[in-house]
Amino acid sequence: MERPQTGPTGPRRSPPDSSAHGFERQSHRLGATITFVVIGLLLAGVVLLFVLAGDEVWRYFRNPTELRQLVRGWGPGAPVGIVLLQVIQVVIAPLPGNVVSFATGYAIGFWPGIIWVMAGVILGATIDFMLARLLGRRLMRYLMPEDRLARLDSVIIRRGTFYLFLLLLVPNPVGDLTYYLAGLTPLPVPLYLMLVFIGRLPSNVLECWIGSRAVEFGWTEWGILAAVAVAFTAAYFANQGRIARLLERWSHIPRRPRAS
C-alpha cells in the first residue's frame, strides 16, 4: 500500500483540483463579457440615434405631448416594444429597470405605462425562473462566481421565501439575479409570480408615476430629479454590504418553542 507523503507538520494534502474552479471563472467571465457587449451595443445604439436624429429626439423631449402622440400612433407596436424592452432588462440583469419604467411613464402616461411595464417584468421574471430551473448551476456559473452563488444558496435555504421576497422588494446587490436564484428553489411558480408582482409593483409604480409627471417639469425640476437620483445611487453603491446584511437580519424569523 502506498503511504501518504508526510511533511514537517503531518500528512500532506493533495493540491485541490483547479480545473473546476478554472471552468467556473471562465464561465463567469464569458457571462460578464456577453452582458457588457449587449450593454455596449445598446449604448452605441443610443449614441447613433442622437447622431442621426438628435434634433428630432430633442424636439420630442421638449414637447412630450407630441412624443405621446407619436408613441400611441404606433398602435400595438408600442406596448409590444415596451414589454420586450422590459424583458431584455430583466433577463440581462445589469440593465437598469428604473430607467425603463421612468421612460415608459414619460412616453405614454402612468396607467398604460404601468400595465405594460409590469407585464414585461412578469414575463422576464418567468423566463429567468424557468431558465434557472431547467439549466440549474450550469447557467448560474455564467452569471456570478461560484463562491457567491454558494453563499446566497445557503442564505436562501436558511431564510426561505421571505428572504426572496425582500430581495424582490428592496433594492439590493443581488438585483434581478433574484429571479434566477428563485429558479434553483422548489418554490411553486404561482407563488413565485405573486411575490414578483407584489415585490416589484411599488418601485415601478413610483418610477412610472414620476415619469408621467415629468412632462410638466422645467429645468429646475429636472435638475432636482437628477440630483436626487445621483444621491440615491451613490448612497446605494456605498452601502451595498449594509443593505445585504440588513435583509438577512430582517428575514430571520425566530421559531417559537413547541409547547410540551
pLDDT in tens, 162-194: 999 999 999 888 888 899 999 989 999 999 999
pLDDT tens readout for residues 70-97: 777 787 888 898 898 888 888 875 567 7
pLDDT for position 39: 60
Average pLDDT over residues 14-39: 54
Reported as a pLDDT band with limits 50, 70 and 90, residue 103 is confident
The gap from C-alpha 157 to its chain's centroid, in whole angstroms, comes to: 21
Cβ(200)–Cβ(117) below 8 Å: no
Domain-wise residue ranges, the chain:
27-250
Based on DSSP, count helices (H) and strands (E) in the chain, helices before strands. Answer: 12, 2
Entry pTM: 0.75
* Residue recorded with cell 423631449: 61
DSSP 216: G
Identity of the amino acid at 241: G
Q: What whole-number distance in Å separates Cα of residue 168 and Cα of residue 200?
A: 6
pLDDT for position 152: 82
Judged against a pLDDT cut of 60, whether residue 22 lies above it is answered with no
Cβ(149)–Cβ(140) below 8 Å: yes
Q: What whole-number distance in Å separates Cα of residue 192 and Cα of residue 165?
A: 9
Contacts of 174 (CB under 8 A, 6+ apart): 152, 167, 181, 244
Judged against a pLDDT cut of 60, whether residue 26 lies above it is answered with no
State the cell numbers at 157. Answer: 435555504
pLDDT tens readout for residues 224-241: 998 998 899 899 889 988
- Find the farthest-apart pair of alpha carbons in the chain and give their distance in angstroms, rounded: 85
Q: What whole-number distance in Å separates Cα of residue 125 and Cα of residue 37?
A: 22
